[in-house]
Amino acid sequence: ARATLGQRNLVLVGLMGVGKSSIGRPLAQELGIPFVDTDVEIERVSRMTITELFAAYGELEFRALETRVLKRLLEGAPRVVSTGGGAFINASTRQHIKSGSLSVWLKADLDVLWNRVNKHDERPLLKTENPKQTLENLMNARYPIYEEADLTVLSRNVGKDIMVKEILAAIV
């Protein structure tokens, strides 16, 4: 499947660890538009880390903040926006993304995700007794929803330049 980006934002959605930020940055460079990471922006405006926000206010408050920050990031000149894994799952946020942006789901299987989140560990949702099982539960719950993105690109361990090329090939 192919889709036209036009003068729209390109919004990367998908589970934590799939490479939204590491692929999004070089992708934006190729497209000649700015890149922004929603989680980084949330941390900047709140002056707290995601982990601190979850601990201090809980997931619900975090979601409300995420929605506000993301809606603002989608206004104005087109960019590549990487979203936190839960952003597209929120119905109103999803509608907002879909109404004015091209959404790209970076999809991966459990082992690809697990290898990536294992290394750098700043994910409050995975602070459970069996984080791999938690990740699998999140996959099962969320994959049918990520499916609603305009495009799906399979994220594999092939290097981000190849992933960038695949996305470009699907949108240009």
Using CB under 6 A as the criterion, which residues of the chain lie in contact with ligand S3P when the complex forms? 16, 20, 39, 50, 84-86, 123-125
82 is in an annotated binding site: no
Identity of the residue, 44 or 172, whose beta carbon is nearer to ligand S3P in the bound complex? 44
Q: Which residue has the tokens 């993304």?
A: 97
> Taking the complex as a whole, how short is the minimal distance between the CB of residue 48 and ligand S3P, in angstroms?
13
Per-residue HEC secondary structure of 149-168 comes to CCEEEECCCCCHHHHHHHHH
* Burial of residue 153 (number of CB atoms within 10 Å: 0-12, 13-18, 19+): buried
Identity of the residue, 23 or 125, whose beta carbon is nearer to ligand S3P in the bound complex? 125
85 is in an annotated binding site: yes
- Give CA 72 to chain center in angstroms: 16
> Taking the complex as a whole, how short is the minimal distance between the CB of residue 7 and ligand S3P, in angstroms?
26
Contact in structure between 149 and 108 (CB atoms under 8 Å): no
Identity of the residue, 78 or 84, whose beta carbon is nearer to ligand S3P in the bound complex? 84
Contact in structure between 88 and 145 (CB atoms under 8 Å): yes
Identity of the residue, 20 or 94, whose beta carbon is nearer to ligand S3P in the bound complex? 20
> Taking the complex as a whole, how short is the minimal distance between the CB of residue 111 and ligand S3P, in angstroms?
17
21 is in an annotated binding site: yes
The per-residue DSSP string of 69-125 comes to: HHHHHTSSS--EEE--TTGGGSHHHHHHHHHHEEEEEEE--HHHHHHHHHHS---GG
> Taking the complex as a whole, how short is the minimal distance between the CB of residue 124 and ligand S3P, in angstroms?
5
> Taking the complex as a whole, how short is the minimal distance between the CB of residue 152 and ligand S3P, in angstroms?
17
Which residue positions form the known binding site for substrate?
39, 63, 85, 142
Which residue positions form the known binding site for Mg(2+)?
21
Which residue positions form the known binding site for ATP?
17-22, 123
